[in-house]
Amino acid sequence: MKGRYAILGGSLKHTMSPPIHARLFELKNREFQYEIIEADATELEKKADYLNSLDGYNITIPHKVEIIKYIDVLDKSAKRYNSVNCVCRKDGKLTGFNTDCDGFLRTISSMGVSLSGKVLLIGCGGVGRMMAIESALEGAELYIAVLQSDIPLAVQVKKEILETKPDAKINIVLNTEIDTGIKYDLLMNACPVGMYPKTDACPVSDEVIATCEAVFEVIYNPRETLLMKKARAMGKNCQGGMAMLVWQAVSAHEIWDGDTYSDEEVSKIIAEMEEKVEKDFR
């Protein structure tokens, strides 16, 4: 029987969800329908009944919080962030999940990197907030580097973390004053500097990159940002943002159908999607 799925969002012109999920369904020989459903805030209520008749669906900006009122139960990941990006309908019950954190953690794990060391995070808004919280919960000694204007945001994120993990080690620094005397196990960029079309920009100096053992870049367009090019030239272990998109989709399929995928299968899809972005979104 054909499974019925969709992605819900405001503007989905450049969404990568359909091709990613199509490949995952195809690998397991599943018959599927995966729709793109665009809606603004005023249309969400009208769409909810249809969405909740599907076997499952993904949610992206701007509906990750508002969708909560239309589902029955929140998984612990969705409760932690008060945000849902995946819904599953089973036995008449609608459960909301946040697989963004799964995608992040599994990407870092696939790099062979531990989050228990010194982690330097550039930016902490949006996805950066999740990365900060998950890193701290994994035991990282976290350094959050932000613009002067974002200091209050970083302070709020630190407060949130300490409420859950009082012994967390969190340092807030200006991005122009990163201590290059520290050896960081992982540098993570969660800010948009270097994103297409402004690909000639890098969020940190060469001196900062040199202090890091590995680099994770949230940006997936281009597939290799200037930060990644610089880091790879220094022999660093690097991963781009497409990995996180694919791994969070894998988590959705585990939730929806109980399917599992090998690291090799996931790596192949990541490479395919990186090529697709370069071909279709330039």
Which of 58, 72, 19 lies closest to 256, judged by CA? Answer: 58
Q: Does the pTM exceed 0.85?
A: yes
d(CA 6, CA 36): 6
pLDDT range class, residue 278, cuts 50, 70, 90: confident
Return the pLDDT at 42.
Answer: 94
Instruction: Give me the CATH topology for the region 102-240.
Output: Rossmann fold (3.40.50)
**Residue 280, token pair as written in the block:** 């279709």
The per-residue pLDDT for range 40-98, each reduced to its tens digit, is: 999 999 999 999 999 999 999 999 999 999 999 999 999 999 999 999 999 989 999 99
- The pLDDT of residue 144 is 98
Please report, as a single letter, which amino acid is at residue 127: V
* Cβ pair 217, 238 in contact under 8 A: yes
Q: Do domains 3-98+243-280 and 102-240 have the same CATH topology?
A: yes
CA–CA separation, 247 and 232 (whole Å) = 22
For 102, 116, 276, the CA distances from 71, given in Å and listed in that order, are 21, 35, 33
Q: In the β-sheet with 32-38, what is the strand arrangement from edge to edge?
A: 32-38, 3-9, 56-59, 86-90, 93-97, 73-74
Domain boundaries, the chain: 3-98+243-280, 102-240
The string of DSSP codes covering the chain is --EEEEEEES--TT--HHHHHHHHHHHTT--EEEEEEE--GGGHHHHHHHHTTSSEEEE-TT-TTGGGGGSSEE-HHHHHHT--SEEEEETTEEEEE--HHHHHHHHHHHTT--TTSEEEEE--STHHHHHHHHHHHTT-EEEEEE-GGGHHHHHHHHHHHHHH-TT-EEEEEETTS--TTS-BSEEEE-S-TT-TT-TT--SS-HHHHHTBSEEEE---SSSS-HHHHHHHHTT-EEE-THHHHHHHHHHHHHHHH-----HHHHHHHHHHHHHHHHHH--
pLDDT on residue 282: 62
Short-list 232, 200, 225, CA closest to 277: 225
The amino acid present at 257, given as its one-letter code, is D
The CATH code for residues 3-98+243-280 is: 3.40.50.10860
* pLDDT tens per residue across span 179-219: 999 999 999 999 999 999 999 999 999 999 999 999 999 99
> How much is the pLDDT for 210?
98
